[in-house]
Amino acid sequence: MRSGSVQNSAFQQYASTVGATDSNVVALPGSGARAVLPGHSAAEWGDALTSRLNELTSLPKGWDGYAGRPVLFTTARFAAELLERLYDAAVAPPSLVPGSDGTLQIEWHANQYDIEIDVLGPYKVQASRFDHLAGVDEDLDLEADVTPLAQWISDLAADRSALAVVA
């Protein structure tokens, strides 16, 4: 792994140009007081994911004990853009897992859903979702239209407590 690369990597410089800068701190009208909204700010997502993507694009060759390579910059950049589109303040940042071949997988395991978005390259995505409560599997092959994923992320924040009782 390159030393001292966190602040100066090409990905870090790119990442600073994307991602919302919204904060979850808002001013209350009339009082001048400020309040912190519940949820996850875009800045929280941005900081966590930028750091992680920087790490993944800097992985040493053989990181997996075989011939693993770092996540490709073009793949990481596309993933960052995808995550920017999928951002939802009610959802925690996802886990990012590298493949041995420069790909990466975005995943959430929460609210009785398993969502795995395998980014094989720019505009080449294989996504799956398993609903533990309904026992339903869904698989998608996506290129440019990632609209279905936005609904999946929205479902992660939904109140499923009634369904959980029935299940």
91: number of Cβ within 10 Å? 20
How far apart, in whole angstroms, are the C-alpha atoms of residue 105 and residue 56? Answer: 11
Window 52-111: residues binding other proteins (CB under 8 A): 56, 59, 62-67, 95, 97-101, 103-105, 107, 109-111
Q: Which one-letter DSSP state was computed for residue 69? A: B
How far apart, in whole angstroms, are the C-alpha atoms of residue 125 and residue 142? Answer: 5
Check residue 158 for interaction with other proteins (CB under 8 A): no
Q: How far is the CB of 128 from other proteins (least distance, A)?
A: 6
CB burial string 2-17: b at 16+ within 10 A, e below: eeeeeeebebbebbee
CB–CB of 76/11 below 8 Å? Answer: yes
Closer residue to other proteins in complex, CB, 5/112: 112
Window 114-133: residues binding other proteins (CB under 8 A): 114, 116, 118, 120-121, 128, 132
Binder among 5, 12, 24, 112 for other proteins (CB under 8 A)? 112
Closer residue to other proteins in complex, CB, 31/61: 61
- What phi and psi values does residue 132 have, to the nearest 5 degrees? -65, -30
Closer residue to other proteins in complex, CB, 21/143: 143
Beta strand ranges found along 54-144 (DSSP E): 95-98, 104-110, 113-121, 124-131, 136-142
How far apart, in whole angstroms, are the C-alpha atoms of residue 150 and residue 165? Answer: 26
Q: How far is the CB of 46 from other proteins (least distance, A)?
A: 19
Q: How far is the CB of 31 from other proteins (least distance, A)?
A: 36
Binder among 45, 78, 87, 113 for other proteins (CB under 8 A)? 113
Query: Where does this chain bind other proteins (CB under 8 A)?
Result: 56, 59, 62-67, 95, 97-101, 103-105, 107, 109-114, 116, 118, 120-121, 128, 132, 137, 139
